[in-house]
Structures are given as C-alpha cells and as structure tokens.
Amino acid sequence: MSLKDFFFPSGGLHLPAHKAISSETPILSAPLPEKLVIPLSQSAGEAARPVVAVGDRVLKGQRIGEAEASLSVSAHASTSGKVVDIGLYPSAHPSGLATQAVVIVPDGEERWIDKTPIPWQSLSPDRVRRALQAAGVAGLGGAVFPTHAKLPDTEVTTLVINGAECEPYITCDDRLMRERAAEILEGVGILRDLLAARTVLVGIEDNKPEAITAMCAANAAADLPFQIVAVPSRYPTGDARQLIHALTGIRIPATRRSVSLGFQVFNVATAFTVARAVLHGEPVTARVVTLTGHLSRPGNRECLIGTPVRNLIAQAEPEGTLESVVMGGPMMGFALPSLDVPIVKASNCLIARLPETSPATLPEMPCIRCGACARACPQGLQPFELYRWSRAREFGQVERYQLASCIECGCCAYVCPAQIPLVQYFRFARGEIRSRAEEAKVAEGARARFEFRQFREARDKAEKAEKLARAAAAQAAKVALEAELKAVDPEVDASKKALIAAALERARQSREEHAPAAGESA
C-alpha cells in the first residue's frame, strides 16, 4: 500500500485495521481479581466523595463515592467484599499521577444490592438525569463525559449513536453490537425519549458487517424506527463531528456544540449501560475491554471496574517480555506508566507490544512543506502552518489558523515524512494559549481591583472635601449672621460679653466656696 492509498478526498486515513486479532471470539468474563482498586474520579468532571470507611463490608453495586458536582458521577463497588483502604493509587493516565481510590478485597460471593429499576417513563427528565448520575453512567467511548449532562432541556432533533469504532485494534463495541444488540437499542430508545429526538441514526463502519446485521435484526424484531447506517471505514469517523458529517453531510463548526444544532451523540456501550441502569437498576460496575497485540489469548473481556491491568494481561498470556501496554488505540492511546493501574470506565482497549515489533523512534527532521498533513486532516486544517507558528510561539497566528478546530486525531503526525510529532506541538500551543488566557483573566481581575481602589479613594477624598466645604460654609454663614446682627444692634456684642463675664464670675465663686481650708488635706 502506497502513501496515497491512505488518504480520503475529505481528509482522514484508511489505516490497517488489525481487528481480526480480537474480533472473532465471543466476549468472556474476566476472572475475579484478588483486589479491586476503584478510582473515585472516572469521568470528565470532579471526583466523587467517598461514603465508605476502611473495614466496611460492601455489596456489588453499592455506592462508595457520592457525586457532588454537576459534572461528577457516583462510584460503586464492582463486587461484594471488604474495604481495606482508601488512599492515593496510580491512575490510568500518561502521567501516572496518583488519584484517590477505594480498595476492595472480594469475598467471592458477588452479592448484589437490591436492584431497583428506574421508572423513567413516569419521572421528570431532571429526576431521570439525577438517577443516571447516581448510577455512575458516563460515556464509554473514551471521553467519559457524564451522560446526564448530555441530556439537556434544549431541543434535540437527531440522536446519533456511535458504533464506528474507527481506531485500529479496538473491537469491544463491535462484539457488544454482535452479542447484545437488543439491549443497546433499549438504551437508545430511552435516550431518544429523554431527548424527545425525532430521528435516530446509528452509524457503524462498513468493516463490521456482522455488527450491522445484528443491529438491523434487533431493530426489525423490536419494530423500531431507528436507521442503522453503514459509514465508510475511515479514521477518525468515530469523532462526533466526523460521524455527524458522515451521516448527514452537515459539518459542525468548532465554535459550536453539536447540541446547539440539534444533534446529540452517544456511544453504543453507553447506551447499553443506560439500559442496564434504567431497566435493571444496575449501576456501572464493569465494561468490555479489548485485549490485543502480542498475546496468545487475545479477545474481549468483560471485567470489573478496578481490575488491575496486570491481571488481564497475564490472563491473555503475552508472547514474550512486553515493552509496553497501550491503553486505547494506537492513534490516540498512551503507554501505561505501570501495569498496576486499574481498569476504569475509559479503558476500551489494551494493546500489548513487544520490543522488536514496536516502531522505531526516528529523529524529528525539518518540515519540507509537502502538504501530506493537510491532505490527511479531517478538519481541513493546515497542520504545517500550525506547527510553524506553535514552534515560533506565535500563538496569535496559531489561533488564526484555527487550532481550536483540531481534534488531535494524529492523522497529520501519522503521514508526516519528517517524523514531526505534530500533535504534541498542538497540545503545547493549546496549553500555552489556555495558560495565557488564565493569566490575562487574573491580570484583568487585578486591574479591575486596582481601578476600584482608586475610584474608592477618590470617592472618599471627594466626600471628605465636600464635608469640609459644608462645615466651612456653615461657619462662614454663622460669622456673617453675627456680623449682620452686630451691624443692626451694636449692643448685641456688649450683651454677649456681659453674659460671658457673669458666667466666669459664678465659676470663680463656686471654686472658692469648695476650696479646702488651710491645713486640711486636699
């Protein structure tokens, strides 16, 4: 395959899929680990507040973290057992920074809480949203944006369900659609009714014929009006804006949210968890994870949230000593800093890599302005210009070339013959722009406070001057009145002096009368 075979006329890439490694075996249940490390932060919002203590016995599905912020979701025990620690543990993040987690040792009994379905048809949309937040439902396509926050009161005309799964190697959504299509569509129906959407489009890439067949059969069996649409296998069709464009021909500007134009997008796995939470009263305690790469037993495993990655990789039997394990796809995923990190709601794929098969890291070379990055960009940007100005720290120019529209899909870096890590430059520029905007905001606040202080001091000075002026005017008026009276009757001043002299004489006499006699103690 030559480089030109990768490109699509409207941007994006046709990448080697590598999906057959894991897509042809049914979903299996991962064994129960010795311990579960369940982070309290598993969504795009703030972390949940722990509501259990060390030593507590918990049931599967029991709430262990309470959502307090609007973009937070609750956390739940993935199985029954005993809480042995609440503390900081490594997170599934490129930085490896620690995050607060609840550690549970399973008792092996898998005892559920009393599961109560949500009577969503008789509740107000706001109460259903709060119930989904309490059930810990968040987007399982990778962004983990809280689902309840994507159910606004504003009108949504078209509900889009994302079954594209465009990144190579990842097949968890493919298997989910093949095996659990009916439950996915139940969740889609609930989302449609909550949004009052008139149209439902389910987009699935055409390299998943079995998933398309299964979803069409479930749609027909339930007599649903949903449209199951096969879209071209093109990376990054799984991006919400790209999928909307592929399904409808409408492009969503970077400056607008899709919901403002009447579209809302959910992943198929998210729809499945909505159905389990609403119809069965089950909070999110597990997810399907693709295990692929250099493994003897690749496939898809349904594993409990909090399962250590090390356990899953060991069960899949690596074919040698691994160099790294990538969480997510090869384009937007990242190498895990440690295999001790737990599976979280965002963990859709684990790719095991051997040293001899990892791509060699070549040195970055100067940009030759070949334009390959621009042809590959699905957003129609000019990455070579963004790179030029990011490197020069000319962030005004970076914004002029619409960095805000970049979705960091990595297409530009993938085709760059100079091996320039373009996305890293763009992330750097974004961070600098954000930092400068925050600094400007702080400076504006300081300037506003300084100006108000000056205004207050000037106001106080003016009020004081006005008060002194009023006092001086009153005194001048008094003096003028006395002068006027004196001019009319000169005896007034003499009369005043006589009164003062009489008062002084009375005071002198009083002192003499009360003075102590000679020789007496004072």
More confident residue, 456 or 495: 456
Chain-centre distance of CA 291, in angstroms? 26
State whether 338 and 424 are in the same domain. no
Chain-centre distance of CA 234, in angstroms? 26
Report yes or no on 159 lying in a domain. Answer: yes
The alpha helices in 135-249, defined as continuous H runs, are: 172-179, 181-195, 209-221, 240-248
Report yes or no on 258 lying in a domain. Answer: yes
Note the pLDDT tens digit of each residue in 232-281.
999 999 999 999 999 999 988 877 888 889 999 999 999 999 999 999 99
Domain extent at residue 438: 362-474
State whether 198 and 300 are in the same domain. yes
State whether 318 and 432 are in the same domain. no
What is d(CA 83, CA 50) in angstroms, rounded to the nearest whole number?
A: 11
Per cent of the chain over pLDDT 90 is 67
pTM summary value: 0.82
Note the pLDDT tens digit of each residue in 308-319.
999 999 999 999
**H or E segment at 37?**
strand 36-39
Domain of 419, CATH number, reads 1.10.1060
- Which range of 177-181, 375-379, 400-404 scores highest in mean pLDDT? It is 177-181
Domain of 191, CATH number, reads 3.40.50.11540
What is d(CA 205, CA 212) in angstroms, rounded to the nearest whole number?
A: 8
The DSSP output letter for 250 is P
State whether 153 and 276 are in the same domain. yes
Report yes or no on 96 lying in a domain. Answer: no
Report yes or no on 501 lying in a domain. Answer: no
The 3-state secondary structure of 368-398 reads CCCCHHHHHCCCCCCHHHHHHHHHCCCHHHH
State whether 301 and 199 are in the same domain. yes
The DSSP output letter for 91 is -
Among 458, 474, 490, the domain-final residue is 474
**Strand, coil or helix: 335:** strand
